[in-house]
Amino acid sequence: MTSQDRQTGTDRRLRPLVGLVVVLAGIAGAVSVAHLPNYGVLAATFLWPALISLVTLGFIVKVRVRIRSTNHHIAWTETAIVVGLAVAPSPVVILATGFGVAIATTLIRLPPIKRWFGIGKNMLVATAAGLVLQLFQWPSTNWDITSTIVALTAAYLAAVLLDELVTLPVIAMATGTSLGKLFREDWDLRLIATVTRLIVIIGTVLTIGTDIRMLLAVPPLVLSLHLFYLTRVRSRTEQQAWQRLAQTTDALNVVELDEVLTTAVTRAAELFSADEVEVELRDAARLVRGNSDGISYDGPTAEAPDATGAVVPAPLEGHDRSVDVGVLRLRFRGSVQLNERERYTLRTFASALCTAVRNAQAYAELARVAQAHAHAAAHDALTGLANRRHLLDEGNEQLHERHADGVTALVLIDLNHFKEVNDTLGHAAGDQMLIRVAERLRAAARTDDLVARLGGDEFAVLLRTLPAPAVAAHRAETLLAALHEPFDIEGMQISVEASGGIAIAPAAGGMVELLRRADVAMYQAKRAGQRVATYAPARDTADLGRLTLGGELPRAVADQEFVVNFQPIVDLGTGEVIAAEALARWRHPTHGMIDPLRFLETVERSGLLPAFAEAILDQALIAAGTWRDAGFDVPVAVNVSPRSLLDARFPGAVLARLRAHDLPPDRLMLELTETLTLSQLDVVDQVLTRLRDSGVRLALDDFGTGYSSLSLLSRIPVHELKIDRSFVTAMESSAEAAAIVRSTLDLGRSLNLAVVAEGVERDPQRLALWELGCVAGQGHLFARPLAAGALLAALQRGTAGRPGHLATALHDAGAVVRLPPGRRQGGRGRHQPA
């Protein structure tokens, strides 16, 4: 559609309204001709040229305002009309108004539709103002100044109101601007103009009534007021334009390219009063087009619909013009000539848009690179599957989600005789084989499953949320069945044999142990000639390693290879260290540091448990004595094996070591693990009762994870409960875990027991626990396990200038703290005498 077609369409829509105005004006003109006075023709003859000239001048002297591609003008026509009505009969003024506007529109070459609209509208305005004056019985010889002002004011307001009612709908229809928006824009300037012109009318009429020669002063006064008003309009326009430019450039300060382009198009349409705006990006071959209402097209430049109308382009280039990312185009239905200020505004906006586009593109590239690096770090480059690292991370996260439904299992798949494919057909064919295997495994796996390539020809599938452990075997058979059909590699049909091992997630050890068990099962399948095997502890060859370690236990005890690290237990409110838990490690001369999970069971079965327990207890008590001598009276907690509690001599050995190191019994806390053994044997009750009666404090470790937590509390005389780390980790995301933590704290309060939270790793966990009433906690947030000397150094160093503290206090000293309802410290202070 051409610009001429658009203009023709607009004119066609306006014709009914303009025709109505012209018809009404014609009727008013006919009535005026019929009522021309039959007397004073000579006087009236002199009035004709004066009135016509006054109206012509009032119409030509105006303030121009551009809305989209249409120029609109604020003229003095109403002023000339009301002044004319004050000195001449209404019929004369109505007809003179028609002639004057016709002359003025011809001189300035307005289009026919605008010419007829101007003539008709102003004749109607003259008619309305004349009728109002007749209602006031104008003129009257005995009128005072007040009556004159009231009559002229009423006539002028009628003229202004009719002008607004007729003009604003036409402007709204011609420009596509809402009527309400047109009415609200620059209302204050229009009000000032109305008041100013009313003053001019009243002053002119009073001046003419006093001395006709004073009429010579009216034109300079009108011209001065016009220039003043024109200056105000331009000043206001400039101010608003710069404000809109600043707001628009601020809105471009976003990092998403789509948001930048949408903002640019919609804001530019408002800023430059354009009918349509489009932004073309050259490198991306992308074009975005729209107006102030939104985006109408966003896609490839070559596929964009044709757009017509007058175009004002602006290149999107930097200040030094060294970068050109595209072009901004303003489109108007009609011809538009931007003034100097608008051209400078357009250049400034285009430069800001260029910067915003480049910033958004740079941000998108950085995000893409970061995402690519993250993907590469977690995926196999050849097959696109998850790699070992991703599998371990996802699996550990899954295993830590105690609230997750279902069973977690792992299927480990190894291709048999894959080396023969590489040796015979080459590594390229081998790579193709691996890619095809990956595709089939991915297709056979469920949406929730994670398929990974661990390296070489070894694959793994993490099965999540299984309804029962037995389902894992069925899923493994399905996965291996997907590899049964031959593969077409370089035109050859190659069959693949694979072995699979299945393991259900263990209670401890995490993904490393799960992967090891699946590996054990896979090799069991290979040795037995089966396609799939499920992990069986009885056939776990790793027991041989435990036997090897067991043979070295006597030497390890004699050579003091068992060492102790300490993890501090901290007051959650103040950050002060109130105890430390002893954690045993085996510093093996060949294998390095060995985790207790690998040797504790062997120690318990070896008969060396008393010697091992005494070695660990000795080191813990020595450390506590060292800390006390340095000024830090920090009790120590030591884990006790359930087998030690079956030894009636155990309490005597513990008390003997306390006396040897000159430590009060209440400086030692023995941590017990929930097991069936504790709740079934009377000898255990006797051992624990003697220890408690001697002053040694007892804690129930990993509370809530055992078989009979509540029944244990009714039999075991403990002083403290320790919330298992799994509940602390999950309490923010699991309502069930949070409920367990809350109920444990409530139970501790009701039984007058202290409660310690394990696994506190983040500040929000610490605050949430403290607000629930938990007094103490331990975890990586405060410190990892440290050697005794390292912990002493940390105590001496302190935090925020406070020795003995490993964290800042939650509240300033002396501050009034509003505790949540029901929160109070449960039990006696930790490690204080009973």
Comparing 56-60, 227-231, 737-741, the range with the smallest average pLDDT is 227-231
Question: Is the Cβ–Cβ distance between 776 and 571 less than 8 Å?
Answer: yes
Question: Is the Cβ–Cβ distance between 671 and 637 less than 8 Å?
Answer: yes
In this structure, what are the phi and psi dihedrals at residue 27, rounded to the nearest 5 degrees? -65, -45
Mean of pLDDT over the chain: 79
Domain residue spans of the chain:
3-241, 252-366, 388-540, 561-797
* pLDDT confidence tier of residue 442, bands split at 50, 70 and 90: very high
Whether the per-residue pLDDT at 65 is higher than 50: the answer is no
Task: Tell me what the mean pLDDT of segment 343-354 comes to.
Answer: 81
| pLDDT of 403 | 46
Whether the per-residue pLDDT at 4 is higher than 60: the answer is no
The single-letter code of the amino acid at 574 is T
Question: Is the Cβ–Cβ distance between 518 and 502 less than 8 Å?
Answer: yes
Domain 561-797 class? alpha beta
Percent of the chain whose predicted confidence (pLDDT) is above 70? 78
| pLDDT of 605 | 66
| pLDDT of 267 | 81
| pLDDT of 524 | 81
| pLDDT of 445 | 92
Distance CA 787, CA 585 (A): 11
| pLDDT of 170 | 72
Whether the per-residue pLDDT at 38 is higher than 70: the answer is no
Greater confidence, 236 or 129? Answer: 129
Q: Tokens 């593109």 map to which residue? A: 361
* pLDDT confidence tier of residue 776, bands split at 50, 70 and 90: very high
| pLDDT of 620 | 95
| pLDDT of 137 | 80
Whether the per-residue pLDDT at 779 is higher than 90: the answer is yes
Greater confidence, 564 or 335? Answer: 564
Over the stretch 268-294, which tens digit does the pLDDT of each residue have? 887 777 888 898 988 888 999 988 888
Comparing 25-29, 128-132, 415-419, the range with the smallest average pLDDT is 415-419
Residue 359, C-beta contacts closer than 8 angstroms, at least 6 positions apart: 255
Beta strand ranges found along 751-805 (DSSP E): 754-758, 776-778
| pLDDT of 502 | 93
CATH number of 388-540: 3.30.70.270
| pLDDT of 221 | 57
Whether the per-residue pLDDT at 564 is higher than 90: the answer is yes
Whether the per-residue pLDDT at 7 is higher than 70: the answer is no
CATH number of 252-366: 3.30.450.40
Task: Tell me what the mean pLDDT of segment 638-645 comes to.
Answer: 85
* pLDDT confidence tier of residue 13, bands split at 50, 70 and 90: low
| pLDDT of 6 | 45
Choose the most confident range, by mean pLDDT, from 6-20, 214-228, 659-673: 659-673
Tokens of 218: 């009216």
- State whether residue 708 is helix, strand or coil: coil
Task: Tell me what the mean pLDDT of segment 648-673 comes to.
Answer: 91
Q: Tokens 């109308």 map to which residue? A: 309
Comparing 86-90, 95-99, 743-747, 781-785, the range with the smallest average pLDDT is 86-90
Distance CA 450, CA 379 (A): 12
Whether the per-residue pLDDT at 757 is higher than 50: the answer is yes
Choose the most confident range, by mean pLDDT, from 468-472, 584-588, 643-647: 584-588
**Same topology for domains 252-366 and 388-540, yes or no?**
no
Please calculate the CA angle 712-713-718 and round it to the nearest 5 degrees: 110
Residue 538, C-beta contacts closer than 8 angstroms, at least 6 positions apart: none
State the CB neighbour count (10 A cutoff) for residue 8: 11
Whether the per-residue pLDDT at 213 is higher than 60: the answer is no
State the CB neighbour count (10 A cutoff) for residue 644: 22
In this structure, what are the phi and psi dihedrals at residue 586, rounded to the nearest 5 degrees? -110, 110
| pLDDT of 151 | 86
Greater confidence, 522 or 223? Answer: 522
| pLDDT of 792 | 94
| pLDDT of 318 | 66
Over the stretch 364-376, which tens digit does the pLDDT of each residue have? 888 788 787 877 8
Comparing 352-361, 692-701, 798-807, the range with the smallest average pLDDT is 352-361
Task: Tell me what the mean pLDDT of segment 59-73 comes to.
Answer: 52
